[in-house]
Amino acid sequence: MPHSSQQHAIRLFIRRLEGHSGLSDQDRQTLEGLPGSLVNMPAQCDFVHLGQPVDHVSLIVDGLVARFSQTEDGKRQILALGVPGDIADLSTAFLPAKISGLQALTRTTIFRIAHSRLREIAAGSRSLLEAFYRDCLADAAIGNQWLLNIGRRDSRSRIAHLLCETSMRYRRARQDHGFALPLTQLHLADALGLTPVHINRTLQTLRNAQLLRLGRGFVEILDWDMLAEIAEFNPSYLNDFAARMPAPAMC
Amino acid sequence: MPHSSQQHAIRLFIRRLEGHSGLSDQDRQTLEGLPGSLVNMPAQCDFVHLGQPVDHVSLIVDGLVARFSQTEDGKRQILALGVPGDIADLSTAFLPAKISGLQALTRTTIFRIAHSRLREIAAGSRSLLEAFYRDCLADAAIGNQWLLNIGRRDSRSRIAHLLCETSMRYRRARQDHGFALPLTQLHLADALGLTPVHINRTLQTLRNAQLLRLGRGFVEILDWDMLAEIAEFNPSYLNDFAARMPAPAMC
DNA sequence: CGGTCGGTTGAAAGCCTTCAAACGGTGTGG
DNA sequence: CCACACCGTTTGAAGGCTTTCAACCGACCG
């Protein structure tokens, strides 16, 4: 059912907005009626290329998306991870930016919404515009945390921090308890400013310390408290997204 | 003349907004009439502490300001640099965030504006709200570039990139040609995720390559093209701020 | 069954850090 | 006016975290 899946994603997006902003019934209806098109991407597909101007945003229906940039010699840096219910590049609707691309990390389905549509509905509702504004600010807060993480922490803490953060955010989108992390070690490396080889070795030390278990595409955090301590993880920067979780009790 | 200096700063801020957004005469008048208070800070003064909630933003009238975060063991990461005409923490007016602090890098004067005032005037003008929105997005674009810089470039490129960026941004705020950079090597280290010692050594290689000259608080870029090449510097992410420069002709 | 992808391992090298000490300029107090 | 203290810069030596290069392994897929 393609129609219901996009509806589901839009509702997740609405929930995300409501994590930091108040919406009217009218706003919710407007969002739910948003026209667009569903697109499927295979894993590892760069569906928005660096430097390529786009006229639509990508609402993530299912899967996992990386917003990235890269150096001229091809070294990639992931700037943000998008989970279902996120609009991976919401900011481009209001300030065109060609410095980042979008990559599907797993098989992913996207709901494309035209920039012009988003601007229209933002023009029609101040509360929606504010909600979009805050949504971008929330992303920026996460970006700031990444800057601290990459600039000032060693590989062990970096990985721990990303796992803690992703665990909380993913849990918000998908309400299951154990959490699936379909990130390859190469993706982790690109997100954390490290090499895949070093990610591998550091992951081993975390496993050996009984902090987590890894399967193909799965992570199970065995000792949340210890991991959070290594990461110096303080979820307050997630701006209440986490507060909206169903049954946390984990920090 | 304290009054005129704050007026000057507000006009710089207006120019900054006009770099990406259209403002009405009414908007400009509203901004110019903004009440607040002038505060002077000595160099190295943390005037907004980490985790401390604030009810006002800081418009930089004169000097240089770092927005920073730090790890529990005190290692600091500068997240953004603010030059005169910037509001260093505009986003806090719309989404309270306690994860970053503000530090004066030199003797600095700030014009404090209450959050409530900013929200009021944003509520009174859609174009102002949008201008604030875009201003935050422009900051976020710079933050993304920093993430790439710190995550994926070596110390030489990192320094070169920061110098190119700061050169362009500073030049916009202060219209003189040679540019004063009142950053200590420790500040550079905190901004780039390196140690002061390594900054020092890397700076020497840049000097020896005849790319720049350093005095106390001054940088003179001798070979812009070469420096920009090392940095892989592409000013497009600065979102037309640079386009508003008086007399560039340097890239 | 061969190919591909992601993960794992080893050895060597390199970039950057750490620790310590010394240097020069500036401002202050005697 | 000089002595002293302070701050930012500079230098050396040693060590460590991370990278690089290369190879191998195991699982999944056609």
Scanning A62-154, the segments in alpha helix (DSSP H) are: 115-124, 126-152
- Reading the block at residue A32, the tokens are 């739910």
Distance CA A240, CA A72 (A): 37
The upper half-sphere exposure of residue A176, i.e. CA atoms within 13 Å in the direction of its Cβ, equals: 6
Distance CA A130, CA A31 (A): 14
Chain B contacts of A196, Cβ < 8 Å?
none
Report chain A's mean pLDDT, rounded to a whole number. Answer: 90
As a rounded value in angstroms, the CA-to-C1' distance for B194 and C16 is 8
Give the CA angle between residues A18, A219, A103 to the nearest 5°.
65
Q: For the CA atoms of chain B, what is the radius of gyration?
A: 18
A5-19, A30-44, A173-187, B29-43: the lowest-pLDDT one: A173-187
Q: How confident is the model at residue A197 (pLDDT cuts 50, 70, 90)?
A: very high
pLDDT digits (tens, 9 = 90+) for A87-128: 999 999 999 888 899 999 999 999 999 999 999 999 999 999
Record the pTM: 0.93
User: Among B106, B93, B108, which residue's Cα sits nearest to residue B60?
Assistant: B108
Chain A contacts of B150, Cβ < 8 Å?
147, 150-151, 193
Per-residue pLDDT at A174: 54
As a rounded value in angstroms, the CA-to-C1' distance for A147 and C15 is 20
B146 touches chain A (CB under 8 A): yes
Scanning B43-125, the segments in alpha helix (DSSP H) are: 115-124
Amino acid at A50: L
A75-79, A190-194, B142-146, B178-182: the lowest-pLDDT one: B178-182
A144 touches chain B (CB under 8 A): yes
| Contact between A95 and B239 using a beta-carbon 8 Å cutoff | yes
Give the CA angle between residues B239, B245, B250 to the nearest 5°.
95
Scanning chain B, the segments in alpha helix (DSSP H) are: 2-18, 25-32, 115-124, 126-152, 155-173, 185-192, 196-208, 224-231
As a rounded value in angstroms, the CA-to-C1' distance for A201 and D11 is 35
What 3-state class would DSSP assign to B46?
strand
